[in-house]
């Protein structure tokens, strides 16, 4: 079975449409979204609709929660706050209910889906250091887990001795080391690895292999929508730089 797994759409409809049409050509039997459908960019409502229709499982991200619940957002950066306020104003009560009700994780006997870290999923820790990875792996029960949140695709693994290491994502990778794997699938709508293309993964469960796919989309179209919506210009500029 092939499973398409993507994350961090962040209201970027042109990027989401490019990814969903690429997925259609890959012969997958299931699609999973690891959260942060909304926030930052200009089209939150239609992105919620598309993801809800396309995916078997959708996990809650920190922006989904912040846009759906009237919580204090002082911890977010100023441009993230602007995106959250915009999404709050452009989502229906029904969309907010949907985002509010999303689960923090989904686990099967072989793999786990989470937005940020299994070490307290509702605290949204960034796995960007071996220490944070170790805290996550202490909780991960399945051989493979998938996350997003940092907007940077990466493979983490923890071997039998407890050592944590990373591998740079290659296009196709077989998960054949005697280790637990955590796959960061990158972001559809706002990558931060200096590559402006959308990113997602396909997990081939029979071959135990993942494929990182980078998809070009009309960045200019998304930028125009951001500026027309009155959102901060920096949200538009960062997309062409992959920041
Ligand atoms: Zn995000």
**Residuewise pLDDT in 10s, the chain (243 residues):** 999 999 999 999 999 999 999 999 999 999 999 999 999 999 999 999 999 999 999 999 999 999 999 889 999 999 999 999 999 999 999 999 999 999 999 999 889 999 999 999 999 999 999 999 999 999 999 999 999 999 999 999 999 999 999 999 989 999 988 899 999 999 999 999 999 999 999 999 999 999 999 999 999 999 999 999 999 999 999 999 999
Cα 15 to ligand 1 centre (Å): 14
Cα 208 to ligand 1 centre (Å): 26
Work out the number of other CB atoms within 10 angstroms of the CB of residue 50. 18
> Which are the contacts of 28, defined by CB distance < 8 A and separation ≥ 6?
2, 3, 4, 202
pLDDT at 177 (0 to 100): 87
Residues with CB under 5 A from ligand 1 (ion): 8, 36
pLDDT at 121 (0 to 100): 97
pLDDT at 11 (0 to 100): 98
Cα 150 to ligand 1 centre (Å): 7
Cα 178 to ligand 1 centre (Å): 30
Report DSSP letters for 51-113, one per residue: HHHH-SEE---HHHHHHHS----TTS-HHHHHHHHHHHHHS-HHHHHHHHT--SEEE-SSEEE
Q: Evaluate whether 197 touches 214 at the Cβ level (below 8 Å).
A: yes
pLDDT at 188 (0 to 100): 98
pLDDT at 234 (0 to 100): 96
Topology, domain 2-241: Purple Acid Phosphatase; chain A, domain 2 (3.60.21)
Cα 29 to ligand 1 centre (Å): 25
| CA–CA–CA angle 199, 43, 229 (5° rounding) | 120
pLDDT at 216 (0 to 100): 98
Rounded CA separation 85/219 (Å): 22
pLDDT at 109 (0 to 100): 84
């Amino acid at each position: 079975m092939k499973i398409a797994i993507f994350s961090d759409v962040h209201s970027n409809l042109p990027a989401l449409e490019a990814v969903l049409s690429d997925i259609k050509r890959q012969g997958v039997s299931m699609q999973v979204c690891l959260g942060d459908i909304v926030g930052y960019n200009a089209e939150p409502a239609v992105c919620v609709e598309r993801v809800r229709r396309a995916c078997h499982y959708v996990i809650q991200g920190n922006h989904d929660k912040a846009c759906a619940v009237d919580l204090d957002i002082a911890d977010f950066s100023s441009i993230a706050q602007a995106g959250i306020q915009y999404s709050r104003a452009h989502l229906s009560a029904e969309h907010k209910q949907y985002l509010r009700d999303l689960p923090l994780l989904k686990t099967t006997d072989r793999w786990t889906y989470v937005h940020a870290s299994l070490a307290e999923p509702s605290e949204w820790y960034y796995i960007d250091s071996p220490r944070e990875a170790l805290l996550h792996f202490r909780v991960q029960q399945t051989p493979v887990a998938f996350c997003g949140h940092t907007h940077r695709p990466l493979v983490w693994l923890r071997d039998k001795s407890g050592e944590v290491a990373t591998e740079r994502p290659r296009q196709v990778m077989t998960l054949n080391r005697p280790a637990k794997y955590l796959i960061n699938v990158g972001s559809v709508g706002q990558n931060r690895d200096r590559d402006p293309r959308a990113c997602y993964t396909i997990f081939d469960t029979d071959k135990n292999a993942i494929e990182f796919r980078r998809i070009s989309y009309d960045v200019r179209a998304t930028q125009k929508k951001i500026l027309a919506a009155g959102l901060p210009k920096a949200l538009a500029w960062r997309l062409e730089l992959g920041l």
